[in-house]
């Protein structure tokens, strides 16, 4: 992009250690991506913020910390900047109150403190982008399709799908999802309230740090601003799960299936300069060949579908 100034990234990996929701490959995913961003895509190490729930982490990936890092990245952006957010961790679905919603659910990611960040929060961030700034989100989580509210589908549920065979790897597959009712039960145990209204629990526990989806004054007021600079590469469709792969035995390394597929696609591209659409199509094909039944998706404007991934 002409006049390009800086390349900034926020990378979040949540393994939820020592809990019933524990994953194993998410921190590995974002550390591998950090190396790729520096070596392949020209990001400065000082412009990359990493939030993980590793025991020695200096900043935990709570909902408030993640949103603060993203807001800072967007607020400080100037024309020509390239912004990137990589999330590897659990996702969930919230029952939708909107009539005619295609899946009757809203999509969200699950920070380590369960302070959900929803599709509406990502829509707000995209709407705040200064002119000439691109913002790419890669979400390796369940139900991640549609994670930017009202973003245009380029590759998604309406794309031709083929079912893969059962994965035959020597890895244990764990879906990266926490069901809505499990989250509601967890929050209820903290607030001691019996209500089934998740919004009430969220507001009691997190106040103004809770998602816009639960802030009644903001709910439903954010619209897409025509073709925008939000770009979402999701690990699966909104009604699918994404896989966390943990070695069953031996010294293999745990990883997220979609994060690993994107890493492989980028590594195998010797020419440099795959479009966003090409990255998703190749990652989808790779996962299909490996036997995974998850279908990566792309949501963005027509122009950004053909734009080069991370504008290299």
DSSP class per residue in 141-171: STT-TT-STTPPEEESTTS---PPPPP-SSE
Say how many residues make up the chain.
312
**186 catalytically annotated:** no
Taking CA atoms, 206 is separated from 63, 122, 212, in Å, by 9, 18, 12
Pairing of the two strands 255-256 and 243-247:
antiparallel
pLDDT value for 198: 93
Taking CA atoms, 106 is separated from 88, 149, 156, 204, 298, in Å, by 18, 8, 16, 21, 17
Active-site annotation holder among 24, 86, 90, 295: 90
pLDDT value for 1: 40
Cα 8 to Cα 74: distance, rounded to the nearest angstrom: 9
CATH fold group of domain 7-311: Rossmann fold (3.40.50)
Active-site annotation holder among 14, 26, 112, 142: 142
pLDDT value for 219: 52
Cα 25 to Cα 14: distance, rounded to the nearest angstrom: 9
The domains of the chain are located at 7-311
End-to-end CA distance of the chain: 8
298 closest CA partner among 235, 248, 247: 235
pTM exceeds 0.85, yes or no: yes
Place of tokens 């053909």: 306
- Give average pLDDT by consecutive 10-residue segment, the chain, 312 residues: 76 97 97 96 96 95 98 97 98 77 77 96 95 96 91 81 52 91 96 92 96 74 78 94 83 91 93 92 94 94 96 76
pLDDT value for 271: 80
**90 catalytically annotated:** yes
252 closest CA partner among 14, 35, 25, 55: 25
């Amino acid at each position: 992009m002409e006049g390009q100034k800086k390349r900034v990234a926020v990378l979040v990996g949540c393994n939820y250690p020592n809990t019933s929701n524990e994953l194993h490959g998410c921190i590995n995913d974002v550390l591998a991506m950090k190396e790729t961003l520096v070596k392949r895509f020209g990001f400065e190490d000082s412009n990359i913020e990493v939030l993980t729930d590793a025991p020695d982490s200096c900043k935990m990936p709570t909902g408030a910390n993640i949103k603060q890092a993203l807001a800072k990245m967007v607020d400080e952006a100037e024309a020509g900047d390239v912004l990137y957010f990589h999330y590897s961790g659990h996702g969930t679905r919230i029952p939708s109150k909107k009539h005619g919603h295609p899946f009757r659910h809203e999509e969200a990611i699950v920070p380590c403190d369960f302070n959900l960040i929803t599709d509406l929060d990502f829509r707000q961030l995209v709407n705040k982008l200064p002119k000439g700034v691109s913002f790419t989100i890669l979400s390796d989580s369940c139900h991640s399709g549609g994670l930017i509210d009202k973003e245009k589908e380029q590759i998604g549920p309406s794309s031709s799908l083929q079912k893969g065979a059962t994965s035959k790897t020597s890895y244990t597959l764990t879906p990266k999802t926490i069901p809505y009712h499990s989250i509601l039960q967890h929050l209820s145990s903290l607030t001691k309230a019996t209500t089934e209204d998740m919004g009430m629990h969220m507001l009691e526990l997190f106040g103004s740090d809770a998602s816009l989806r639960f802030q009644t004054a903001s709910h439903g007021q954010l619209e897409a601003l025509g073709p925008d600079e939000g770009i979402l590469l999701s690990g699966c469709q909104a009604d699918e799960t994404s896989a966390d792969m943990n070695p069953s035995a031996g010294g293999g390394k745990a990883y997220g299936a979609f994060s690993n597929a994107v890493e492989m696609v980028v590594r195998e591209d010797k020419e440099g300069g795959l479009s966003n659409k090409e990255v998703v199509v190749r990652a989808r094909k790779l996962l299909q060949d490996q036997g995974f039944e998850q279908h990566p998706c792309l949501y963005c404007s027509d122009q950004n579908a053909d734009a080069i991934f991370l504008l290299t």
